[in-house]
Structure 1
Amino acid sequence: MFRKLRELLLKHIQGNVVIYFIVILFFVVGISSGAFTVKALSDQHKGELISYMQNFFQVLNQSTFDAFSVLKQSLVNNLQTGILTWILGVTIIGIPLILLIIVIRGFIIGFTVGFLIEQMGIKGFLFCVFAILPQNLFIIPGIIIIAVIAVSFSVMLIKSKLNKNYQVDMVRQFVLYSTIVAAVFLVILLGSFIEAYITPIFMRFISQYM
């Protein structure tokens, strides 16, 4: 079973290698933009963010952590992104907006990581490794895969409109498209569980040394 899944995944990547390159490129652009934005912040804004982070670490160490609330919020945020991307995939004009979503997700990560490392050095790097990386090992690939599939489906729609000789069963393709997106959501769900129930353990430990 796992061998078949691996073969299907490799076939999918090979068939969409150009789209993967474009989506990942936009994600990297978002990360770079977020990191450079940190450099452009005024000292006042940096001071406000540092104060917010210090308060966050204090609350994290003193209060009881509501993992279920974190899980709900993570699911809402990530499912909104995934569902919006899925909807945009069935529109002809959805491709630019899908890429914009990818840029924004990259920007958020780039800004957060860039700020933590700039202000806290090795401590900030360790916090990123243990508090940001674990869940995003599942969430970000999931969102990228959904974006690639959505762009691919949108391209197929454009071809069918422009080329009358391009024959495809749209209903069957839509069902397949939606099924794959739903399966990828399970990967994102795993990332949300990690963010809610595993990452906080690391965050509490690391925050003691921040």
Structure 2
Amino acid sequence: MRKVNNVLIKHIQRNIITYFVVIMFFLIGISSGAFTTKALSDSENGELIAYLENFFKIVDTKTIDNFAILKQSLINNLQTGVLIWILGVTIIGIPAILFLIGLRGFIIGFTVGFIIKQKGLKGLIFSIFSLLPQNIIIIPGIIVTGVLGISFSVMLIKSKVEKNVHNNILNQFFVYSTVIAIVYIFIALGCIIEAYISPLFVKYLSVYM
């Protein structure tokens, strides 16, 4: 555990600026998503309200298919992880990785912002218990994956530009891919929480919404 901690600390220290940039894009995405809820037209707002109310009614009356939620969550997060992994080896993928991180923040910001806008304190409580448990694990995992992708892309750029830089690209690629796979295992734990724990809160709280 001590060795693992040392590796993690060194990794963060080496990539502190990249972490700062990635987290900033994520926060900008959240802010943009929350702000967008205020820019909705009356018709768009009405459609989303109807969808939200229908969602609460369905959740309250029907049995939740936990396995289907788990499957979809794993697919969604795997797609994001694989896309970031691919972008990391394209050299020009850095802007796209930052866009994906910002998009994930936008979705969360819009969802939470809209629920709170319509339901007030109840919406805040609902958002905390329905979205926070899984995202405590999933979001850090996505951010780490993004940082790894950007770092690998930067390393490739340096190897092309700086003649004095000699990296064993194949070994670096293997390490890069392995670490991202390990991070995804942790993300999968968040998916399990999303499928089997968060729905319990959703079903219980939907009665009061």
Whether the TM-score (by the shorter chain) exceeds 0.5 is: yes
Residue 57 of structure 1 is matched in structure 2 by 56
Residue 91 of structure 1 is matched in structure 2 by 90
- AA aligned opposite 1:154: S
**Pairwise CA distance, 1:141:** 0.5
- AA aligned opposite 2:46: G
Structure 2 unmatched ranges of 5 or more: none
Q: Matched residues in 2 for 1:123 and 1:12: separation?
A: 40
Residues 54-87 of structure 1 show CA distances to partners (whole Å, capped at 9, x for unaligned) of 1111110111110000000000000000000001
Matched, 1:179 2:178: yes
- Where does 1:40-55 land on structure 2 (aligned, <5 Å)? 40-55=39-54
Residue 148 of structure 1 is matched in structure 2 by 147
Q: Matched residues in 2 for 1:31 and 1:148: separation?
A: 18
**Pairwise CA distance, 1:41:** 0.6
**Pairwise CA distance, 1:7:** 1.8
Residue 111 of structure 1 is matched in structure 2 by 110
- After TM superposition, the score normalised by the length of structure 1 is 0.98
SS of the residue 1:152 aligns to: helix
**Pairwise CA distance, 1:5:** 1.8
Q: Matched residues in 2 for 1:78 and 1:145: separation?
A: 13
Q: Matched residues in 1 for 2:123 and 2:63: separation?
A: 23
Backbone CA RMSD of aligned residues: 0.7
- AA aligned opposite 2:35: F
SS of the residue 1:166 aligns to: coil
- Where does 1:181-196 land on structure 2 (aligned, <5 Å)? 181-196=180-195
Q: Matched residues in 2 for 1:38 and 1:124: separation?
A: 14
Q: Matched residues in 2 for 1:12 and 1:93: separation?
A: 22
- AA aligned opposite 1:110: G
- AA aligned opposite 1:202: F
Q: Matched residues in 1 for 2:10 and 2:112: separation?
A: 33
Q: Matched residues in 1 for 2:206 and 2:86: separation?
A: 39
Matched, 1:120 2:116: no
Residues 112-171 of structure 1 show CA distances to partners (whole Å, capped at 9, x for unaligned) of 011111111001000110001111111110000000000000000000000110011111
Q: Matched residues in 2 for 1:178 and 1:169: separation?
A: 14
SS of the residue 2:120 aligns to: helix
Structure 1 unmatched ranges of 5 or more: none
Residues 5-35 of structure 1 show CA distances to partners (whole Å, capped at 9, x for unaligned) of 2221111111100000110111111111101
Q: Matched residues in 2 for 1:122 and 1:133: separation?
A: 16
Residue 65 of structure 2 is matched in structure 1 by 66
- AA aligned opposite 1:170: I
- After TM superposition, the score normalised by the length of structure 2 is 0.98
SS of the residue 1:92 aligns to: coil
Q: Matched residues in 2 for 1:78 and 1:142: separation?
A: 10
Aligned residues: 209
